Amino acid sequence: MTAATSLLSLRGVRKEFPGVVALDDVDFEVRPGEVHALLGENGAGKSTLIKVLTGVYPRDGGEMSLGGETLSPQSVGEAQAAGISTVYQEVNLLPNLSVAQNLLLGREPRRFGLTDWKQMNAKARETLKRFRLDIDVTRPLGAFSVAIQQLVAIARGVDQRAKILVLDEPTASLDASEVEVLFDILRDLRTAGLGVVFVTHFLDQVYALSDRITVLRNGRKIGTFETAELPRPKLVEHMLGYELQGTASSHASRGTVTEGNDAALEMDSACVSGSVQEISLAAQSGEAIGLAGLLGSGRTEVCRALFGLDTLSSGRIRRNGRDVHITSPRGAIAKGIALCPEDRKANGIVGELSVRENIALALQARRGWWRPIPAREKRAMAEKAITDFKIATPDADKPVRLLSGGNQQKVILARWLAIAPDVLLLDEPTRGIDVGAHAEILRLIHQLCERGMALIVTSSELEELVAFSHRVIVLRDFRQIAMIEGEDITEDAVLQAIAS
Amino acid sequence: MKQLITLIVSAIAIAGCGSGSSEGGADDQLTVGFSQVGSESGWRTSFTQAVQAEARDRGIDLKFSDAQQKQENQIRAVRSFIAQGVDAIVIAPVVETGWKPVLTEAKRAGIPVVIVDRNMALEDDSLYLTRVASDFVEEGRKAGRWLMEETGGDCDIVELQGTVGATAAIDRMTGFNEVIANYPDAEIVMTQTADFTRARGKEIMETFLRAMDPADICAVWAHNDEMALGAVIAMKEAGIDPGDDILVVSVDAVPDIFKAMADGDTNATVELSPHMGGPAFDAIEAHLRGESVEKLISVNGDLFTQETAAEEYQKRTAG
Amino acid sequence: MTGPKSIISTLQRHGALWPLVALGLIWLVIIIVNPGFFAFTIQDGRVFGGVIDIFNRGAPVALIAIGMSLVIATGGIDLSVGAVMAIAGAVAANLIVGTDLPAPLIILAGLGAGLAAGLLNGTLVAGFGIQPIVATLILLVAGRGVAQLLNDGQIITFQNEAFAFVGVGTLLGLPMPVWLVLFVLAAMLLITRRTALGLFVEAVGANASASHYAGVPVRAIKLTVYAIAGLCAALAGLVATADIQGADANNVGLWIELDAILAVVIGGTSLMGGRYSLVLAVVGALIIQSLNTAVVLSGIPPKFNLVIKSAVIVAVLMLQSPVAQAQLASLRRRFTA
């Protein structure tokens, strides 16, 4: 690529956060008149890259240029002025203002120093015509569907004399026909010479729209590919970091699970309205079930349903062969089911409370408020957990929010093991934690299986999933698409299933 | 509520007949609509009763409406009075503002309006016939004069003020201070607002008693009876004999203060006259006879002391 | 290490330093304007003195602040406490005047009314998910109306020695309201700290979602704290009613919710929920009452009351703010370096 043909060019861009390298020597280039898909699993660095590009974060190294001129935006405003417009997943417009006001906010046509409403509305109608939107621009934006709001947001972005349009998961809230409208518009914009950066989790859409694909993984660029020349399985490989052939690792022998016994936890054709459909799985005691699939495939939703956070619309859940109705986490806990949630900060730790209080919380909740755990017992519990799990904290009184992600995760695991559950659901237990804690948690999963606990674990890391699972359920679009058992569990097999 | 419904029903009935009773003077009986604030205090209740008694004595047909302290109820009542074609309307307004439209309607219908008690903020004084109100300044003066006579003009006074900014508090203070200014040995040694409430009256008095030697206090001057009653409790708890060790004078003349006076706990109260009905009806009758009427009529209450307290208490609680 | 330095650092760790300093400063001002105020005297077996007056007068706010602390710790707020005071007072006064029930039963009836009000608030917040400020606003408006209705718009006065004891009685030389504050404080400390209720309240306030995931009965906890707040408000209402031997539905507890919230905030509890301190909330109530007393004693014209009060409170809150604390810390470092 010569510099002349590239509109936007990033060279060796680096971004560090305390303790983490979020972007490591990343090159990225967008040509005029192309739709460039930016792909990668969570934590790959997509959103950091976009934030560096749009002036939210300053970069720590490397160069950026737009249309041949050096680009160092210090703020979102500067990036916009330079010609980079961004539309985020959540519409960040003002629902109380009219469509026209939203479109032209900050650059309203003026007459004698006052807003010229007539001209503003006319201008807004004109703009929206390009987007095949014929709506009443004087009505408040909030009165329209999310799809239309999204289109208005895009229209606003494009209207600002943009050279580059960055779309961060714009289709997450749109239905199929709305996506079609959006894509038609994006194709128009492409024809008009705009460079579009497109972030999504939907691979179908990548193939339907994009010209080229750049894949990031763990803050590094894996490569840039012509979409037409990159088969889908290959793309998934790049995203997840495994090759289909050659590396099939052999595993420690899996203990054969006695068949015929009632499963510790079983899901039978379970559906949740608006969420997972027709999921059937069974976890025997001493068995780890892996839930595989890309982000948004329904892994978390299966855990939610099993833990009583979502209610089944049909199908059933059985514990030891008996039908159970689980309608709340309290109900699940009472039946010996525990969940380490995916979003540790929002749903896991109680940040302000101490390490000790966090560890004691679930046990205390099960005992009830009138039967407090004696202080000495609580202290002993915390001390034991800190030693057993190697939790790095100066003392048990420290507020848990001051601990690192890995140590917070260990605190939550300690919280659940204190109530000795029969079934433990682990939703992305190793995400965003350091290598040491990672190994600890994997070792723990093995131990718990040996002790006879039934585990259901989701993970984006196929290698670890394959390493500890007795059975892998592969999900896509909220449906179960494959089940891989025993010796058939290899990274290849799982990848094939995900990409098929 | 029931009254309101009755009013509305009768209003419809009259409209249906197509002839108003206000036309001409076919019958001699005067019909007057009276919109009262509500019944939020003992004084308000006696005010209502006084007006009703006065109307009964004069043979006036009084249509009474309780607004339950809401202006919209009052406006609705006034409209209903207009629809019924009453001869005159008496309003004790809840608030000062927002009266122009409905009073204009009354004026157009040719019905005179008398404002009693609280004021209305009106630029155009042709919208009402007259206003009958208590003279708060005079009440303060009366209290002051009594105290100066009683003590020979030598008295260290603690004052319990009404709510900061209230007309009644400002005017009563003005009148009282005006009188004691003539007596060099009379002085207000401590003053504080007690918000017209019994609880705050007690609390502030307690602090006064702690702040200075009770033996140095000659009298308590309270802008209303409620605060005086609170101060009485505070003094009793501190082992002081109110009404004897420390004199107590206040304004309003609510039933409870007569009991306190009869028991010797307080010494005097100036009546905030509830008898505003008489002057209001006088003005209406004069107007209907074609005479001109002053735009402000002040009513003055009497000062009551312990001598008549027991008797007054009987009288006021019996009815 | 023992000695003054370690005491100060202990107080600081519990966030108690600045509230106590503020209280001390206000008392110092009182001593300057009126040196005799704090003198203790014993008369008729009752101890008299400025400190006791402040404690006695501050009792309703202190009682309500105790309940309010727990509500605020769960991330909620209760605006209805003043109206609940009025209801409890009206219920008690009407029963005294209209029936021959013994005083203890009348007190129980008043408390029952408060409990019912608290449960109503709690149901709206925990059961229907209405925002606390909106849910309790309903009773703030309607509650006083109910009390006025019970009283038929009048102040109901009564003579009942046994009931009046709640407000004006003396036990072992101290006024009854002071004992009630101490009793409720001790009882609530016992209930929240000797059981797991305090932990659950803080967990719900700090992260309701994570608490729900951990199996904490979030709704029941919320219901409980509003019920406790209702009980505390009712008790405060009974004290205020007994104090003047009359139920004044129009005025009792008017605006007291704001004083109580302020007391809790001065005590260092965040309106966002989480960690709370009942003791410091009571200290906050004492600060507010001391300020009221100081203003009266100073002889400043009443129209300046609110201005002075708010200026002092703003100063206290600013001293407690994270920004000011950081500044002070850096000053201290420079000073010691």
Contact flag B195-C251 (C-beta cutoff 8 Å): yes
C228 vs C301, residue with greater confidence: C228
Spatial distance between the Cα atoms of A382 and A414, rounded to a whole number of angstroms: 8
Chains C and A physically touch (3 or more Cβ atom pairs below 8 Å) = yes
Q: Flag if B199 and C244 touch (Cβ within 8 Å).
A: yes
Distance of alpha carbon A157 from the chain centroid: 25
The CATH H-level (homologous superfamily) assignment of domain B136-272+306-318 is Response regulator (3.40.50.2300)
Q: Where are the beta strands (DSSP E) in chain B?
A: 31-36, 61-66, 88-91, 113-116, 130-134, 155-161, 186-193, 219-222, 247-252, 268-271, 296-299, 303-305
Task: Taking residues C305-319, report their average pLDDT.
Answer: 84
Interface residue of C191, C197, C213, C271 to substitute, partner A, most A CBs within 10 Å: C213
Which pLDDT does position A117 carry in this prediction? 82
Q: Which two tokens stand for residue A47?
A: 């959103």
- Three-state secondary structure string covering A307-333: CCCCCCCEEEEEECCEEECCCCHHHHH
> Of the candidates B30, B108, B106, which has an alpha carbon nearest to the alpha carbon of residue B74?
B106
Q: How far apart are CA A462 and CA A293, in angstroms?
A: 9
Q: Which helix (H) or strand (E) holds B83?
A: helix B71-84
What number is the average pLDDT over the span C85-107?
A: 94
Query: Amino acid identity, residue A462?
Result: L
Q: What angle do CA C283, C286, C291 make, to 5 degrees?
A: 130
Average pLDDT, integer, range B191-202: 91
Q: In this predicted model, what pLDDT tens digit does every residue of A188-211 receive, in sequence order?
A: 888 888 899 988 777 778 888 899
Mark yes or no for CB contact B39/C302 under 8 Å: no
Query: Is there a contact between A330 and C203 if contact means CB atoms under 8 Å apart?
Result: no
Q: How far does Cα A457 stand from its chain's mean position?
A: 16
Task: Report the alpha-carbon distance of residue C147 to residue A187 in Å, rounded.
Answer: 68
Q: Among the listed ranges A137-141, B226-230, C45-49, C216-220, which one has the minimum average pLDDT value?
A: C45-49
Per-residue three-class SS string for C232-278: HHHHHHHHHHHHHCEEECCCCCCCHHHHHHHHHHHCCCCCCCCCCCH
Q: How confident is the model at residue C1 (pLDDT cuts 50, 70, 90)?
A: very low
Residue of C nearest to B228 (CA): C244
Q: Which domains does chain A have, with CATH numbers?
A: 3-240 (3.40.50.300), 265-499 (3.40.50.300)
Of the candidates B209, B311, B224, B319, the residue with the CA atom closest to the CA atom of residue B261? B311
Of C331 and A349, the structure prediction assigns the larger pLDDT to A349
Are A350 and C211 within 8 A, CB to CB?
yes
Q: For residue C217, which residues of chain A lie inside 8 Å, CB to CB?
A: 330, 365
Q: Are B89 and B33 a contacting pair, CB within 8 Å?
A: yes
- Using a CB-CB cut-off of 8 Å, the residues of chain A touching C210 are 346-350
Smallest Cβ–Cβ distance between A361 and the set C197, C203, C217 belongs to C203
Q: Tokens for A65, please give them.
A: 């240029």
pLDDT exceeds 60 at position B55: yes
Which residues from chain A sit within 8 angstroms of residue C207, using beta carbons? Answer: 346, 349-352
pLDDT at B117: 87
* Residue B82 pLDDT greater than 80, yes or no: yes
d(CA C327, CA C321): 10
Mean pLDDT of chain C: 89
Looking up tokens 């002092």 gives C312
Given CA atoms A337, A342, A344, A350 in this order, what sign does their dihedral have?
negative
Neighboring chain A residues of C268 at a CB cutoff of 8 Å: none
CB pairs under 8 A between A and C: 78
Q: With 70 as the cut, is the pLDDT of residue B22 above it?
A: no
Interface B:C, Cβ pairs < 8 A: 78
Domain ranges within chain B, ordered by starting residue = 2-20+29-128, 136-272+306-318
Whether B132 and B274 have beta carbons less than 8 Å apart is answered as: no
Closest CB from C196, C203, C213 relative to A341: C213
Tell me the nearest-neighbour CA distance from B26 into chain C, angstroms.
40
Neighboring chain B residues of C148 at a CB cutoff of 8 Å:
40
Per-residue confidence band for C4, with pLDDT thresholds at 50, 70 and 90: low
Residues of A in contact with C206 (CB under 8 A): 350-353
Give pLDDT tens digits for C165-184.
998 888 988 999 999 999 99
Q: Does A341 touch chain C (CB under 8 A)?
A: yes
- Return d(Cα C24, Cα C316) in angstroms, integer: 12
According to the model, what pLDDT value does residue A160 have? 62
Are C123 and C80 spatial neighbours (Cβ–Cβ below 8 Å)?
Answer: no
- Report the DSSP pairing between strands B219-222 and B186-193: unpaired
Q: Which residues of B touch C53 (CB under 8 A)?
A: 206-207, 210
Task: Tell me what pLDDT residue C39 has.
Answer: 81
* Of residues B156 and A3, more confidently modeled: B156
Closest-CA residue in chain B for C153? B40
Low-confidence ranges of chain A (pLDDT < 50): 1-4, 245-257
User: Given the DSSP bridges, would you call strands B113-116 and A423-427 parallel, antiparallel or unpaired?
Assistant: unpaired
Q: Do chains C and B touch (3 or more CB pairs under 8 A)?
A: yes
Does the domain made of B2-20+29-128 have the CATH classification 1.10.1380.10?
no
Considering A404-408, B83-87, C222-226, the range whose residues carry the highest mean pLDDT is C222-226
Residue A58 contacts C, CB cutoff 8 Å? no
Burial C63-96 (b: 16+ CB within 10 A, else e): bbbbbbbbbbbbbbbbbbbbbbbbbbbbbbbbbb
- Helix (H) or strand (E) run with residue A20 in it: strand A20-30
